[in-house]
Structure 1
Amino acid sequence: MTPPTVARSTGAAYLALALTGMAGHLVLRGMPGYAELALLAELLVVVSQALAAWGFFALFRRDHPTAAWGVASFGLANAIVILGSAGFLAVALAVGADPALAPGGDVEATVALLRALSDAGWQAGAVFFGLWLVPMGVFAITTRLMPRALGWALVVGGAGYVLAAVLGVVEALAPVADALAYLATVGELWMIGYLLTVGIRRTAPASGPVGG
């Protein structure tokens, strides 16, 4: 595929990741009776994250191999963690359908435990999701093939996401963690829009160094 096609495909995968993540984790997960749709959304998160990671690697490897490997590695790590979360949700559905699977016959407690494990997976995966934004931003800053402001928005947002994941384990700091997580939204939406409309500008400023 040509670079513009790779950029648009990566942007489309990233957009799918954002939409399925919001639908599954923020909406469907908390709605009774939508467990199967929540599981479907989580599996789509895994697929779209893996495709986006692959796309970023293809897009970045020529100009900044280190950033390309960083985005791909952290992105795939998050996809694997969310795949584990989806596995817990699938087992919770199976227990709900067949109470005999529940230890001691306690279906409610077993399902609650499995859902808690799934939530823990998202909490842990948030570290990788924040980390994958950092090399993405470094690419934009060092190569100047994308706006440097976009790069800084991604680096700051990624750091905020990681910090949010760490602080989120302390209940009293949960509001601060939630606020920090929103920092990444600006950079992410900007990157999605930029990939879909512009991609990589091969006429970078002359003073822009290339990393890697």
Structure 2
Amino acid sequence: MTDTRRTARMTGLAYLGLAISGMLGFLLIRERLYVPDDAARTAANLIAHEGLARLGIVVDLVMVLTQAVTAVGFWKLFRPVHPVAAGSIAAFGLVNCVLILVAVTFSATALDVALRGGVTSADDALLLYDLNGAVFRLAGVFFGLWLLPMGWLVGRSGYLPRPLGWILIAGGFGYILSVVVASLVPDLAAGAQVLTVPATVGELWIVGYLLAKGVSERTASAQPPPSHEAALT
């Protein structure tokens, strides 16, 4: 197995970990704890399900770690194709990691506040979970941004199917637009999630392809090393 194909499969494995941890943490565990606009129930859930809440914190940290590894993996994979675009994937991905860490800080503090108790503990815990959700939502901008250079590099490199590149680009714009719509018209936030469907399709495709095939060995071997001129084009 060549270094390029090995990098592709390791990146695919990290991306799979990111997808699984994201689904478990934000979509499943968080939904069992956080009750919008209901401070008493949110605090009660945190107290009654302390172990689940702590598991959610760990799962979110796994999401941070796997996204960081995925970002660096894509940089290494695509750097010979276009260093600046590859660096953009890493930069946007790492910024998203920082935002998720901020969100985890809010949820972890919410748990501590609920367990400590007090007159305002329930309201404070709800506020912290509201901030957690707001940061996750705004982090979608950078998640969308990292899909744009990823899609462009998929199309340019020939490592993966070209249609996948277009789907990833559409998914990136969809993610960004969904955040804009949810911010301008909060009542449409749930409906705006349909805009992220292309991203979901593209991510499942790229993860599956990287794990199953890696990259085209013929295309990978034909790529020249990165040069100063490539970095400027």
| TM above 0.5 | yes
For 2:105, the aligned partner's letter is G
Report if the CA contact (8 A) 2:5-2:217 is conserved. no
Matches within 5 A, 1:49-68: 49-68=67-86
Indicate whether 1:180 and 2:206 are aligned.
no
> 2:36 matched to 1:25?
no
Residue 16 of structure 1 corresponds to 17
**CA separation in 1, counterparts of 2:209 and 2:85?**
18
Q: Distance in 2 between matches of 1:66 and 1:177?
A: 31
Match of 1:133 among 147, 150, 154: 147
After alignment, is 67-76 or 165-174 more displaced? 165-174
In the alignment of these two chains, the number of paired residues is: 205
Deviation at 1:43, TM superposition (A): 0.8
Amino-acid identity (%): 41
Distance, in Å, in 2 between the alignment partners of 1:78 and 1:139 is 20
Q: Match of 2:108, as an amino acid?
A: A
Find the aligned partners of 2:217 and 2:152 in 1 and give their Cα distance: 17
Letter in 1 for 2:194: A
TM-fit CA distance, 1:145: 2.3
* CA distance in 1 between partners of 2:213 and 2:94 (Å): 25
Give 1:174 shift: 1.9
Residue aligned with 2:216, SS: coil
Matches within 5 A, 1:33-112: 33=49, 34-99=52-117, 105-112=119-126
Q: Does 1:190 align with 2:205?
A: yes
Q: Does 1:157 align with 2:171?
A: yes
Distance in 2 separating the partners of 1:65 and 1:154? 19
Q: Find the aligned partners of 2:198 and 2:107 in 1 and give their Cα distance.
A: 28
- Amino acid corresponding to residue 7 of structure 2 in structure 1: V
Q: TM-score, normalised by structure 1?
A: 0.91
Q: Residue 3 of structure 1: CA displacement?
A: 1.6
Contact kept in structure 1, 2:151 and 2:165, CA below 8 Å? yes
Listed as ranges, the gaps of 5+ residues in structure 2 are 34-48
Q: Does the Cα contact within 8 Å between 1:71 and 1:135 map onto a contact in 2?
A: yes
* Equivalent pair of 2:145/2:176 in contact (CA under 8 Å): yes
Q: CA deviation at 1:156?
A: 0.5
Q: Assess if the C-alpha contact under 8 Å between 1:161 and 1:183 holds in 2.
A: no
| TM-score scaled by length of structure 2 | 0.83
Call closer, same or farther: CA 1:172–1:94 in 2, change over 3 Å: closer
2:172 and 2:87 map into 1 onto residues whose CA distance is 16
Partners in 1 of 2:205 and 2:85 — Cα distance? 18
Q: Partner residue of 1:2?
A: 3
Question: Which one is further off, 189-198 or 166-175?
Answer: 166-175
Cα distance in structure 2, aligned partners of 1:21 and 1:92? 19
**Runs of 5+ consecutive residues of structure 1 not aligned to the other structure:** none
Q: What corresponds to 1:113 in structure 2? A: 127
Q: Over the residues paired in the alignment, what is the CA RMSD in angstroms?
A: 1.9
Q: Deviations over 1:69-127 (max 9, x none)?
A: 11101100111100000011111111122236xxxx31100000100010011011000
